Structure 1
């Protein structure tokens, strides 16, 4: 039996390993909470917002994220690839996502705004219509990624091989073109 919580606000909590098991949260807000010790099992978040929370190293296998926003959160080294793929929808603003894994996910329409995204894994990920707004994508892996109509215009430090990824109609700035030519080891001045 799953416990259900609706329209609740949680602040400054430090959660234990199994604090969230078999629970469903809808329209809830979490502010200043620490999830670093959590091992989520059978958890669903629908239309929830996380503000200034720390998920670093949390194990989030079999978690449903449906319409979830992360604002000013630390989400270091979190593996999203084992999340429930049904209606997977997340958005990030002002977050540190370094070393997170998103491989094999359908992330159509996701927004990343002002995020540090160092060494993320987007292998086999569908990034159609994803917005990367002012994000640092240094050492992030794009391999067999579908980034059709994705917007990289204001992001930087990315390296995407057009021969190994689908990037039709994706948007890039003139300065960002260097990230599409890295494999050729060209010297671009300007």
Structure 2
């Protein structure tokens, strides 16, 4: 049986100041809402967002390595190809957002919900994920190799050709997800929860002949 777990939701005040994104020398943004704009070609290391809502925001050629996100919501945003590598991401929700090729490699991601997101070709290599749920997301051809999972869930996601190499899927329930193939070792798949059709597919991958 898959382990059930709770995700802490973002803690955001009811009143936020509406602001346009402008670079600040201290690179700290707190208790604001940024809506309906494009953040273009920004490269800032160790930028911090605390209690911030991004709504209908396009991130274009953005590199925010070592980003710190705490109590934030991304709602209907386009984060494609953004670089959030080595970030610290805590109590954050990504809702109905486009995240093609986004880079979360080497990040620490805790209490985070991805729901209705297009995350094909996204990279989470070497990241630490704790209390993270992917719900109704497209993650085809994504990289989740060498990750550390602690209470991570996938519900109704597309996972075709996702690379789980050297990532333990023990206790992870993939039974509601769809995929033709996963890149994963036998050791990675040990203890993974799948449905009957998926189990037959894995058996064929191992070269087993199934007698009907």
Q: So what's the TM-score if we normalise by structure 2? A: 0.69
Out of 179, 200, 203, the position equivalent to 1:178 is 200
Structure 2 counterpart of 1:48: 92
State the alpha-carbon separation in 1 of the partners of residues 89 and 193 from structure 2: 27
In structure 2, relative to structure 1, the CA distance for the partners of 1:64 and 1:16 (3 Å cut) is farther
C-alpha distance after superposition, 1:29-52 (max 9, x if no partner): 111111113122443210101001
State the TM-score, normalizing by the size of structure 1.
0.76
**Equivalent position of 2:79 in the other structure:** 35
Whether the 8 Å CA contact 1:40–1:62 is kept in 2: the answer is no
Match of 2:155 among 113, 130, 133: 113
Seen in structure 2, the aligned counterparts of structure 1 residues 50 and 187 have a Cα distance that, compared at 3 Å, is same
For residues 104 and 82 of structure 1, the distance between their equivalents in structure 2, rounded to whole angstroms, comes to 5
RMSD across aligned positions (CA): 2.3
Shift of the 19–106 alpha-carbon distance from structure 1 to 2, 3 Å rule, reads closer
Runs (5+) with no aligned partner, structure 2: 1-25, 27-45
In terms of mean alpha carbon deviation, does 41-50 or 108-117 score higher? 41-50
Going by fraction, where is strand more abundant, 1 or 2? 2
Unmatched 5+ residue regions in structure 1?
Answer: 154-172
Do the aligned residues in 1 keep the contact of 2:126 with 2:148 (CA within 8 Å)?
A: no
Q: Within 2, Cα distance between the matches of 1:41 and 1:105?
A: 13
CA contact (8 A) 2:126 2:145 kept: no
Instruction: Give the count of matched residue pairs.
Output: 167
Q: Which of 17, 31, 35 is the matching residue for 2:61?
A: 17
Shift of 1:78: 1.4
- Name the structure, 1 or 2, with higher relative contact order (CA <8 Å, separation 6+): 2
Distance 1:143 1:6 in 2: 39
Inter-partner Cα distance in structure 1 for 2:210 and 2:191: 27
* 8 Å contact from structure 1 (residues 106, 127) kept in 2: no
State how far apart, in whole Å, the 1-side matches of 2:200 and 2:91 are.
38
Give the direction of change, closer, same or farther, for the CA distance of 1:39–1:184 in structure 2 (3 Å limit).
closer
- C-alpha deviation, 1:4, in angstroms: 3.1
Secondary structure at 1:28 match in 2: strand
Equivalent position SS for 1:151: coil
Larger Rg, first or second structure (1 or 2): 2
